[in-house]
Chains A and B, each alone.
Chain A
């Protein structure tokens, strides 16, 4: 599972008043062999017994394609935990969608990979927790790194696009060069370095995950250098943590404008984190067609357009660029989903974000092992490595 991120805009003009969605995020299951401390799944995970059937998903893919959706992002949890994953890939591809699989690679073997590619899989996004085994295993709460390296070798045998997704945070942001080197040994044509964004499990662990300002500045320099060096060979993309940004991200390309997420149970959401907004009710694809949900569901209407905006968004020149930022972040930090995203420098509640950043940037070296600085004087507690924080790990649903 990758963290929530703002997505690249598709370069396509819209014609109707409500533009059609371009991507369908299919959260096939919340089951996952990893327990990542920044997982973007909700704190209340949906159990296997509530998951949509193969037939329901196939119908959703057909409806999505006729609604104008171009791409299906298979994610989770771990989408490979679905035993019907090959059938689902085939169903989405034959509906006319571009099929993207976002995976940890853990439940994969060579024959499963061959079957997925034969079924029409276009693109694999293999998640990495870092370039070093020990830290990767710590972050994912399981022994996972070695298997990912095996998957890189298997993928070389197939004509399928490969992106390596590195989730970036305080503990690994100083290792970007090692991650690029790892990607260069693979067949990847794209690397996505996405800083953790603070929802779900990541929100609970944010004080340990946020990089310092110095770390971030250095990382931006590294990325620029690597982008130049690798141009034409590997596309390198970087998503910075929006807590450090001057303006908010245009989250999901604007509420109900480009993306639709279907949760394992069939609930249709405008974004991954929309459960955190109190009072939003979600329609289920078992009860309604996708077009009806997209055009009429109260949840999708709620923050579409500009009518819901408050000052300073309401009269801001940037309101058509960033749409007031992220509604879920406004809900989490401001306690009001219609407030200006508090990461915006113009937001009344920006001081709240600044206070969080101040705490991170003044923290002693004990929680900043990656950067140069004096070592802590006191001895670490017994039985624990000196820099290991007390993570809140994501469990596996029933």
Chain B
């Protein structure tokens, strides 16, 4: 199951969580930390095992309505693929 399947529900993997440090939102993972802002934070906040990939795409297309919808979708799928490569996500059916 991957981000390519729009009906899957991404969820942060065990040991991966959002935290805050010096007013900065951070995704903490085993031996890694990623600073999040803007769209990346909007995406990760929705990786809760409830939102489908399609829902994340639709919601961000609304938030970033000035951007081209197709581009928003591509960026989201690319970012989810990156997080999966980092092993930060599980995809539930």
Contact = CB atoms under 8 A, between A and B. Distances in A.
Given A190-B87, A231-B85, A235-B86, A163 B31 contact: yes
B21 interface: yes
A13 B22 CA distance: 12
A122 B17 contact: yes
A70 B14 contact: no
B61 interface: no
A52 B83 CA distance: 38
Interface stretch (A4-12, A289-297, A353-361): A4-12
A133 to B, nearest CB: 27
Band of interface residues on B = 20 to 34
A189 B84 contact: no
Interface residues of A, number: 31
Contacts of A277: none
A165 B59 CA distance: 40
Interface string A223-250: 0000000011111000000000000000
A161 interface: yes
Contacts, number: 73
A98 B35 contact: no
B38 interface: no
Nearest to A13: B35
A137 B17 CA distance: 36
A25 interface: no
Interface in A111-152: 122-123, 125
Given A189-B87, A232-B84, A233-B87, A10 B32 contact: yes
B19 interface: yes
Nearest to A69: B21
A232 B35 contact: no
Contacts of A70: 19, 21, 26, 28, 33
Contacts of A161: 13-16, 29-30
A71 B33 contact: yes
Given A123-B15, A189-B15, A234 B87 contact: yes
30 contacts: A7-B31, A10-B32, A10-B33, A11-B34, A11-B35, A12-B33, A12-B35, A70-B26, A70-B28, A96-B21, A98-B17, A98-B33, A100-B30, A100-B31, A122-B17, A122-B30, A125-B30, A160-B14, A160-B15, A161-B14, A161-B16, A189-B13, A189-B14, A189-B30, A190-B30, A190-B31, A190-B87, A192-B31, A231-B85, A232-B87
List the 10 shortest-distance A-B pairs measured between CB atoms, nearest first.
A161-B15, A189-B87, A123-B15, A98-B28, A159-B14, A123-B30, A235-B87, A161-B30, A161-B14, A10-B33
Interface of A: 7-8, 10-13, 22, 68, 70-71, 96, 98, 100, 122-123, 125, 158-163, 187, 189-190, 192, 231-235
